[in-house]
Amino acid sequence: MQIQNPTTTTRCNELDLIATHLPLENATVLELGCGKAQMTHRIAELFPSAHIIATEVDQIQHAHNLTSEHPTSIEFKAGGAQAIDAPDNSMDVVFMFKSLHHVPCELMAQAMQEIARVLKPGGLAWISEPVYAGEFNEILRLFHDEKVVRELAFQAVCDAVNAGTLALVEQIFCHTESRFADFNEFDQRIIQVTHTNHQLDDALYQTVKARFEAHIGAEGARFENPARFDVLRKPYCAL
């Protein structure tokens, strides 16, 4: 397995990849670490027959999700990936969208075990993680360097595959796009998130702002972000 593929320059849309690679019609789906649930809503729109259980460990964001307008196919639950409130062999698909590296380091292996536990035999896990590269990453690392936790998240996936807990189906590498109208939107979406307490003094805040605003054009700021998508399957029979 590779943590990144520096030669990949293809731009992709993650939802298009999901539609191509995963059987979601009438599926029971679990999303771990749904955040503001943007992807949850998009999957629900694209696959209205799927039942989606979306979990979030951040209590503030979870409360917002509960009171938000959402289709009946989405069920929000509080909880972390390391202790999933779901029966064994109950999920067709499990998603983690850039959330594995947010699991406490000492609990990442347990999270992978939990994913395997709740998946049905033959069920699929989609683990998307940002690659530690690119202009957006260079801005992020000024106040929140994720190099170590991203490496540990990758190692947790590798360990699960090497142990036979989950089998590797495919690794997909491509570039996704992030867009921001201005620095205020970046501030609200990235710096002011409730799941992480970013502490920036005024000098660092101004440095981040200047670095970000160097990328603003006529249509705001756009970033191409290298990403990795690990597609895993629960074996039909334990090894």
Q: Provide the phi-psi class of 220: left if phi over 0, else alpha when psi is between -120 and 50, else beta.
A: left
pLDDT exceeds 80 at position 197: no
Give residue for tokens 């639950």.
77
Nearest to 5 by CA among 226, 170, 232: 226
Q: Which runs of E-coded beta strand occur in the chain?
A: 28-32, 51-56, 74-78, 91-97, 119-130, 167-180, 216-217, 220-233
pLDDT of residue 206: 95
Per-residue model confidence (pLDDT) at position 237 = 73
Q: Report the percent of the chain where pLDDT is more than 70.
A: 98
Whole-number pLDDT of residue 192: 86
pLDDT at 199: 80
Half-sphere exposure at residue 166, Cβ-oriented, CA atoms within 13 angstroms: 31
Spell out the SS3 assignment of 4-71.
Answer: CCCCCCCECCHHHHHHHHCCCCCCEEEEECCCCCHHHHHHHHHCCCCEEEEEECCHHHHHHHHHCCCC
pLDDT in tens, 122-179: 999 999 999 999 999 999 999 999 999 999 999 999 999 999 999 999 999 999 999 9
DSSP state of 179: E
Question: Alpha carbon 10 to chain centroid distance?
Answer: 20
Q: So what's the pLDDT on residue 239?
A: 47
What are 54-113's pLDDT values in tens digits? 999 999 999 999 999 999 999 999 999 999 999 999 999 999 999 999 999 999 999 999
pLDDT confidence of residue 172: 96
Whether the CA torsion 233, 236, 238, 239 is positive or negative: it is negative
- pLDDT score, position 196: 67
Cα distance between residue 136 and residue 8, in whole Å? 17
At residue 195, the pLDDT reads 73
Neighbours of 75 (CB within 10 A): 12
Mean pLDDT value across the chain: 94
